[in-house]
Amino acid sequence: MTGVSPLELLDVDHLLDDDERTIQHTVRRFVDDQVRPHVAEWYEHELTEDAVRQLARDAGKLGLLGMHLEGYGCAGTNAVSYGLACMELEAGDSGIRSLVSVQGSLAMFAIWKFGSEEQKQRWLPGMAAGELIGCFGLTEPDYGSNPAGMRTRARRDGTDWVLDGTKMWITNGTVADVAVVWAQTDDGVRGFLVPKGTKGFSAPKISRKLSLRASITSELVLDGVRLPAEAMLQEAMGLRGPLSCLSEARFGIVFGAIGAARDCLDSTLEYANSREVFGKTLSSFQLTQAKLADMALELQKGFLLAMHLGRLKDGERLSPQQVSLGKLNNVREALAIARECRTILAASGITLEYPVLRHANNLESVLTYEGTSEIHQLVIGQALTGEAAFT
């Protein structure tokens, strides 16, 4: 006896147009062919820099990098298509979706939105092709949720800028050809483009992670890094600059988390249909079916929420508070689904033979980055009450 896939129960496919469906299926095939066969190995031994470069080039060929941006070699798709791509990538692994999100929504978006024409011409076509990799340095060792306190400083020296400080937990830092670095200046927070190899700049890798192992995470060290005046992102003034980039990336996570949860549920259904306990298949027990039904329910609610936000974004009506709602709900529920799936797989669920604990461990990072759950609760709380409770 076979059932329907969890996302088919509500026939949500008809919410997509033909282009969106084609993009979704293309990315799903890419994940099946180029991610799934290797992902357990990448997770066990950590993703190498060569593998990141290869993945970036492959994603570039498919047009996935900066895909929702216009011009400069970017595909210029709608927001829903970008979301669906994130969903399929994260069904493979949150680390692979992170590579694409950081490249497109953080590093490329910052340059595309706030950079000069010269900066755009220099960096964006190579980044869209995956030949150049970018990272986004906002978080610091002592300032994560509260970037306003950042200590990284950029001071003027003649027409040059000199940057000092440390950034922490930066995705793709070690492998990046260009780092978008946010620093405090006399005029507030400003963004700077720091090319790899600039004197005084290094990006050591952070090791011994238990989460997001198929992704490189790094420290950025800026020790008297001298940059010409043209390295600054002219149009980004104050924290609104980096925060608007984060809103872009969070949108991708709203869809992405659903991909990870779907993958957990798909593999768990298959397992429950074949595993026998007490002389019957695991899937035939009422307790198992109650778990599966509740998970399918949350998965579909999460997908509908993501689609609603996607349509709002395509109508240019999406607010940061709405993105907070989506990120908070979908990552929280995806993590709950991954953990519940693990209980159905029991001992088998703790290995890399199945994706569920890998996804659950990854989602711990996803719950934290791009605004922790608590920060999103505070954003929503402020929208509901009119009271800011951050401090």
The binding site for ligand FAD (CB under 6 A) comprises 102, 136-139, 144-145, 169-171, 212, 217, 365, 368-369, 372, 374-375, 390
CB of 55 to ligand FAD, least distance (A): 16
CA-nearest of 87, 117, 119, 20 to 263 is 87
HEC string of 85-127? HHHHHHHHCHHHHHHHHHHHHHHHHHHHHHCCHHHHHHHHHHH
Q: How far apart are CA 322 and CA 305, in angstroms?
A: 10
The bridge status of strand 134-137 relative to strand 178-185 is parallel
CA-nearest of 137, 18, 129, 151 to 81 is 18
352 vs 388, which CB is nearer to ligand FAD? 388
Active site residue 370: yes
**Given 44, 230, 370, 374, the catalytic residue:** 370
Partners of 225 in the beta sheet?
163
CB of 106 to ligand FAD, least distance (A): 7
145 vs 348, which CB is nearer to ligand FAD? 145
- Is there a contact between 95 and 359 (Cβ–Cβ < 8 Å)? no
Task: DSSP letter for 350, please.
Answer: G
CB of 20 to ligand FAD, least distance (A): 27
CB of 107 to ligand FAD, least distance (A): 9
58 vs 364, which CB is nearer to ligand FAD? 364
24 vs 171, which CB is nearer to ligand FAD? 171
CB of 232 to ligand FAD, least distance (A): 18
CB of 127 to ligand FAD, least distance (A): 15
CA-nearest of 173, 230, 161 to 202 is 173
Task: DSSP letter for 206, please.
Answer: P
1 vs 389, which CB is nearer to ligand FAD? 389
CB-neighbour burial class of residue 6 (10 A; exposed 0-12, middle 13-18, buried 19+):
buried
Longest dimension (CA), the chain: 80
**Buried b / exposed e along 312-340 (16+ C-beta atoms within 10 A):** bbbeeebebebbbbbbbbbbbbbbbbbbb
- What lies within 8 Å, CB to CB, of 152 at 6+ separation is 137, 140, 163, 164, 165, 166, 167, 181, 182, 183, 184, 222
C-beta neighbour count of 358 within 10 angstroms: 27
103 vs 322, which CB is nearer to ligand FAD? 103
Residue nearest to ligand FAD (CB): 144
292 vs 379, which CB is nearer to ligand FAD? 379
- Is there a contact between 224 and 153 (Cβ–Cβ < 8 Å)? no
- Is there a contact between 96 and 140 (Cβ–Cβ < 8 Å)? no
CB of 193 to ligand FAD, least distance (A): 15
Instruction: Please identify every residue annotated as catalytic.
Output: 370
